[in-house]
């Protein structure tokens, strides 16, 4: 659909005003919030993530695109209130300590929430103590960590080591993601899974939780 393509393109270039206007127009055309998210906003941000990983764009461009997506979410949220309340599992998400970027986490959070998972978003710059306290308090099924910078991704190991020291690693599955993250890094630090983008994150969560049931 042409308008969804336009939304995606304007998210990529970070034109907040254009994105908001297009989202309002799309809603008036009875395009569903789910379509707007998956085929418009998330598609645009995934393109931004791929460009960043290839060094075609840099942090400032990512942040501008992030602001464009957030502005659009403010428009969409009132239309999401009638989504059937259900929970397929509880997931804690956070960007690790030292990292102030939340775009990847935000996209994954939206995608998982739309699938029916209960999301606890700890935000950005989250220390290992907060991750641990939240797991102890909330007893989630999944912990998801993100990092956009190579200088902060190593902190994921500290978080996992802390969880293992508290003997909670058997109670919660740990997944990681972000532009510099790879499957080999996930294996190296002992994470249960790695997702490159929102769609694969949803698939990974479903796989991990279904294996627990079986």
Determine which helix (DSSP H) or strand (DSSP E) holds 106, and give its type and residue range: helix 103-115
172 three-state secondary structure: coil
End residue of a domain, out of 80, 101, 129: 80
> Do 173 and 95 belong together in one domain?
yes
**CB-based contact 205:112 (threshold 8 Å):** yes
> Do 140 and 94 belong together in one domain?
yes
d(CA 58, CA 71): 21
- Whether 14 is covered by a domain: the verdict is yes
Please tell me the predicted confidence (pLDDT) of residue 174: 98
Please tell me the predicted confidence (pLDDT) of residue 81: 55
- Whether 85 is covered by a domain: the verdict is no
End residue of a domain, out of 60, 80, 100: 80
> Do 101 and 192 belong together in one domain?
yes
> Do 73 and 173 belong together in one domain?
no
Q: Which residues pair with 121 in a beta bridge?
A: 93
> Do 76 and 94 belong together in one domain?
no
The low-confidence residues of the chain, meaning pLDDT below 50, are 83
Please tell me the predicted confidence (pLDDT) of residue 86: 61
> Do 131 and 198 belong together in one domain?
yes
> Do 71 and 139 belong together in one domain?
no
The residue range of the domain holding 75 is 2-80
Nearest to 156 by CA among 128, 133, 182: 128
End residue of a domain, out of 80, 113, 143: 80
Please tell me the predicted confidence (pLDDT) of residue 55: 87
Total tally of structural domains belonging to the chain: 2
Sheet containing 142-146: order of strands: 118-121, 90-95, 142-146, 173-177, 193-194
> Do 36 and 100 belong together in one domain?
no
Please tell me the predicted confidence (pLDDT) of residue 85: 58
């Amino acid at each position: 659909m042409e308008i969804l393509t336009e939304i995606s393109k304007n998210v990529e270039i970070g034109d907040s005003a254009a994105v908001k206007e297009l989202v309002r127009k799309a809603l008036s055309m009875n395009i569903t919030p789910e379509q707007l998210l998956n085929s418009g906003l998330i598609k645009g941000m995934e393109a931004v993530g791929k460009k960043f990983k290839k060094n075609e764009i840099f942090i400032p461009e990512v942040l501008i695109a992030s602001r464009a997506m957030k502005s659009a979410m403010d428009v969409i949220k009132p239309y999401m209130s009638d989504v059937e309340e259900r929970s397929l599992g509880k997931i804690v998400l956070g960007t690790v300590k030292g990292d102030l970027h939340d775009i990847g986490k935000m996209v994954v959070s939206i995608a998982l929430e739309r699938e029916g998972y209960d999301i606890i978003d700890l935000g950005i710059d989250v220390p290992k103590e907060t991750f641990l306290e939240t797991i102890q308090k909330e007893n989630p099924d999944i912990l998801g960590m993100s990092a956009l910078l190579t200088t902060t991704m190593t902190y994921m190991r500290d978080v996992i080591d802390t969880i293992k020291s508290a003997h909670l690693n058997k109670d919660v599955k740990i997944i990681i993601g972000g532009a510099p993250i790879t499957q080999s890094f996930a294996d190296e630090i002992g994470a249960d899974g790695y997702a490159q983008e929102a769609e694969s994150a949803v698939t990974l969560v479903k796989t991990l939780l279904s294996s627990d049931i079986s």
